[in-house]
Structure 1
């Protein structure tokens, strides 16, 4: 049965609103001939003249639309559809637009960015990765040039000078992490000439649901080198001897593990007969044991992470790709590295941090685009005050979305998936299979190979080839096994990138998408389905699932239903309950997002105050003026020995150092507070409220204490060769810094882990009481 609710949903939710710009686009069509007759130089001048155009807004929009359509056709060979122009105008109005896969979001985004730029605004086009940022900036570059708009891009390999040059352009493309890391690095600068980013204005977010929802809670970290602690080899070796079921148990949801009494005795014996729960003597040992146990029992290689080139690399849970520069909190990261016997990565103190959500909310104007905006409408509204406008496709979607197929066991499901793919492959129809993790993609690929089906595997282990592999997934006879929603931002054209086999593939029904399990969000399922049926092309999709899938066992445990001989379940009730499980998971994710933001929001506000103070010190003579007011005698003494410029330089360095030092210490205090605040619930207090109260109390004296420390430092400095030796006074930057993202700890705080362990120790006996 063909299902396509887009048109009906558009008519009911957004059809009337999208008509707001229909007259603008119609008028632009009537003006097309005037712009078509212009030379390129005349077109550029006409676009630049829009900046100071005194006419009313609607008249300027008409000219912009006509200019944009003509410029796109000349510069990049693409004539925008009305829906692309509508999307660009809605983004310029500050909304998130929903446009189907293959509807040309890249061009619509470039037109919107040009529109902002021609209004005199600067735009950061935020992408999900470096590849797409560079590709889109270079692809759309001729369009920007023809419209008189400068454009640049940044990536992980960009030098400071290259970044500074890119940020000087009117439009800058980059990944969300690179924009964030540049902000953090700028907040460590001690010379205005070192800054690269400049002021923020407009953020236009590509794949908005991925960036603003899936990655919103991810903190971006700037760290500095410190002395490293002890290695975890010993505790890893001790934990590796523990046996599941006897020495430790994993909860049904797979999110917690605890030692049994037999396990506790085994660990205590291995450490020479210690009391594992003597907090004063062995608190650190207990924490290390819990971390090593979590790394061993709950974090799975080729599911949660991969090992490549001697490094542990995390897998992004929302995209199934390697999460570059991402890591767990230092203790858990080190435990996994010890488990896999790879070299430990650097650890250090956090110099500054900002969440993706906090970063994005710095922009006065925010807009975006994605193919699956409506399912995330609540998050957009709640966290960003953004509305969503769904746009109709340029051509009606005719994709055939088959009903889900459920099976009793994962083995039954896998056999059915392979049989289904073999059957479809025999016809030559291209097939894209979306799996839930790396290990599953490898297993399925092996089974397909055994069944005589050649396939290409795209997962976190070869994500560098992603765009090339995905672009070829529509070729005749292609079978592509992928983790999650691979290839976002890369179009799958029927017949391959050159479309040479297009008609043959169309005759076979287009691209066929197979999902091997449901994600925790229906939106992610829809993203996978949306790989087929682009621009009115035929296509189809079907999902296979089992009652042993994590989504089912976690949220509707005990679900069962009558099945056929091959294990396929015939009861429609199962599909209803599975959909309910997905809604539960979505609700939990939303609650977690909300709770996390409640903790981060105050920190982001405090960051803003510190940054404002830093900016004053960096760009003015505030530091030396304060030194003069606070210690006039010391000021006079130094003034007699060095020049006014040198004194101002030294005061600025000292004040910035103390502000930064006190901010680092404050971050450490808040991290410790977050780890212990949950105890307040025992006193019937709300942990979030208590965290805010304590965090405000800790922050209030920060600036004044930093200033007092700066004055004390200035009074103790020495002068050598007409220069103030600030280094001798302890004013030094970190010997090395690096950036990374830290995932939310999936297992709770250290305190919660230890409390669970203590409950298991004192919570009553069972068969585990037997001696080891």
Structure 2
């Protein structure tokens, strides 16, 4: 290996992809640029053939020129490097403001030119629609069809959109469409067509933070909402006397005195076997009352409970907690109960992404989760350097003994920066903290703009102005990912990558002279990657900027994940702590939190792997029934007399169609019942396993595997019984007699992670807590 190559690999980030081959292609593309520029528009478009992508240098040269003409933007060399990384099936790590959207569009076009259908997955409707429209002229010049899907799209609009070479859509909508297609009884009713490539925007958020979030298709069922009596009852219980809280394990339980009080109010023996449902309802209500906090875990908007995504700070659209907990929170807030129902099918985000033969993505913070991306998706990271070196100044953390001292220091820092005309973006932990800080700033004479889950619809407009002179923007973790913060501010409607009026004007010069955008974190998040995302809002494309995080030994991160660590060193007059050991505690707590999250991810994935395998077996059977004569042949073999008689009366085609509908119904029915069985099994398996020192996963598989093997046989037996009950006339077969009653209504939603975890997950947290804090 040449000395230069050895040096390059030495300085390259460990675990990252070697960029040298990509750079060589980009350099060759640069040498061809003059020739490509002399082409007419028609000649440029004519060059966009399947053969083009075979020569990557030619593709990059044509794509660069198409972007310049169609969008008014000439991609930088680093953007083309990112495009090539995506085309190679990697995750491209590109800093904020480096043009990921354009790099992704060129890669999607490249895949489409190869004849591979591409789904570009975003985190919300707004970004999917914006990027499809913004990149539309580029795709048109390259003769690649593009479309987008959102929550409001009709089935016909979806069906048409999925025919495009490149589809932009939220990952949830693609998952929901897949679930609905899995229950159609006529292939013509499906909206999706198989896609080969998943290109994921904000890849770390989708592939890690939301990997195990189940997307659910539910059907109407007669399930009772939470009884408001239980919400009223637990509201009157006193902490310490009637219940004990374990913040570390996110758990709460009745004390002996609390149980007696509940029994007195309800007039029953709470722990009698016949009152198990009541005991469960009281416990769920207690969890909702004590451990779930308004404006932290959820907000109330338009008469409904809206969950907040911990990783992004936004309202978690379409998400809800498991039905019992969701209903308990609604009863707590005295709201009308939202629809509940039976789960007909579900799929996790990780399983959804795993269906695509080719996976790639882009984000500003991938290396921090490189291990997980490799472990769960076989993805590698291509760390693409910025077009201009980052000159942002990242200060060391400022640590304080108490939350009160920290909050005073945060306000003083913001006020001082604001006085110089420097814009400040403040990242807070939750809605309540953002609003509390805003009130303190107003009292200090600063008028901030607050961006949190309560006004996330205005996110793009607010973030677009966060770089204006003297602007103070207080935000939750959402921090406007997907929208550039430009020094001097800019029109809210401007698309990322275009230069607003303030970019080259006096506003930008004024802000640059003041030091650029200052990012202030009011505490470390549970993941260092979220810290990096917030910090990365400043210093885009070589702009000046700075960041500083304020932490305290009373922060939730420390008290939950390093509760046994103490500090007795000296304090400054303002409560500031400079001792290295104290700073180690904060870092240690964050590392423990990251470790817990990773183990929970692995644990959940182990359970879902088996469920996914069982679902694939059912789907294979279902496809054979829906698209062939498997149902007709099976019923002819299992019920020959009835089959012959019905065929004689109604005809072979009518009997085959009836058999198909019966078998599809019974397969779907058995799968829904199997999902309910598995959910109950997993939630309770720890009682029989941990108590006896057994592995919960082994015990789960011991019962789940045989149940899965019985599923197809059960569906076949039910189908035969239903088929034998059919009656027919010359006008046709009476399917109503077979009891094929599907849900009167269906809807989709995401099950937000149970904030307390399933019981086995809580046990895992407790086990980890026994060992943490013991090593330095």
TM-score after normalising by structure 1: 0.94
Cα distance in 2 between the residues matched to 1:599 and 1:744: 15
- Equivalent in 472, 497, 521 of residue 527 of structure 2: 521
- Equivalent in 496, 502, 516 of residue 510 of structure 1: 516
Once the two structures are superposed, what CA deviation does each residue of 1:662-705 show, in whole Å capped at 9, x if it has no partner?
00011011011101211222233211112122111001021122
Query: Contact 1:14/1:391 (CA < 8 Å) preserved in 2?
Result: no
- Equivalent in 638, 644, 656 of residue 636 of structure 1: 644
Once the two structures are superposed, what CA deviation does each residue of 1:141-165 show, in whole Å capped at 9, x if it has no partner?
1111111110111111111011111
Distance 1:9 1:469, change over 3 A: farther
Q: Which residue of structure 2 lines up, in the alignment, with residue 3 of structure 1?
A: none
Query: Contact 2:146/2:166 (CA < 8 Å) preserved in 1?
Result: yes
Structure 1 segment 400-415 matched on structure 2, within 5 A: 400-415=393-408
TM-score after normalising by structure 2: 0.93
Q: Which residue of structure 2 lines up, in the alignment, with residue 192 of structure 1?
A: 187
Q: Which residue of structure 2 lines up, in the alignment, with residue 333 of structure 1?
A: 326
Structure 1 segment 223-622 matched on structure 2, within 5 A: 223-229=218-224, 231-253=226-248, 255-272=250-267, 274-278=268-272, 280-497=273-490, 498=500, 499=502, 500=505, 501-557=507-563, 558-560=565-567, 561-622=569-630
Cα distance in 1 between the residues matched to 2:758 and 2:59: 53
Once the two structures are superposed, what CA deviation does each residue of 1:247-289 show, in whole Å capped at 9, x if it has no partner?
11212426111111111110010111x22111x2211111011
Cα distance in 2 between the residues matched to 1:309 and 1:19: 53
Query: Contact 1:290/1:753 (CA < 8 Å) preserved in 2?
Result: no
Q: Which residue of structure 2 lines up, in the alignment, with residue 138 of structure 1?
A: 133
Cα distance in 1 between the residues matched to 2:184 and 2:366: 38
Cα distance in 1 between the residues matched to 2:229 and 2:681: 29
- CA apart distance, 1:35: 1.8
Q: Which residue of structure 2 lines up, in the alignment, with residue 48 of structure 1?
A: 49
Structure 1 segment 11-50 matched on structure 2, within 5 A: 11-13=12-14, 17-50=18-51
Q: Which residue of structure 2 lines up, in the alignment, with residue 214 of structure 1?
A: 209
Distance 1:110 1:289, change over 3 A: same
Distance 1:173 1:225, change over 3 A: same
- Equivalent in 688, 705, 708 of residue 714 of structure 2: 705
Instruction: Tell which deviates more after alignment, 550-559 or 67-76.
Output: 550-559
Matched, 1:715 2:708: no
Cα distance in 2 between the residues matched to 1:262 and 1:300: 24
Secondary structure of the residue aligned to 2:313 is coil
RMSD: 1.8
Query: Contact 1:91/1:368 (CA < 8 Å) preserved in 2?
Result: yes
- CA apart distance, 1:232: 1.7
Query: Contact 1:133/1:175 (CA < 8 Å) preserved in 2?
Result: yes
- CA apart distance, 1:562: 2.0
Cα distance in 1 between the residues matched to 2:15 and 2:261: 63
Instruction: Tell which deviates more after alignment, 90-99 or 38-47.
Output: 38-47
- CA apart distance, 1:727: 2.5
Alignment size in residue pairs: 741
Cα distance in 2 between the residues matched to 1:229 and 1:688: 31
Q: Which residue of structure 2 lines up, in the alignment, with residue 743 of structure 1?
A: 752
- CA apart distance, 1:721: 6.2
Unmatched 5+ residue regions in structure 2?
A: 1-7, 491-499, 766-776
Matched, 1:652 2:653: no
Q: Which residue of structure 2 lines up, in the alignment, with residue 97 of structure 1?
A: 92
Cα distance in 1 between the residues matched to 2:401 and 2:225: 47
- CA apart distance, 1:750: 6.3
Structure 1 segment 159-170 matched on structure 2, within 5 A: 159-170=154-165
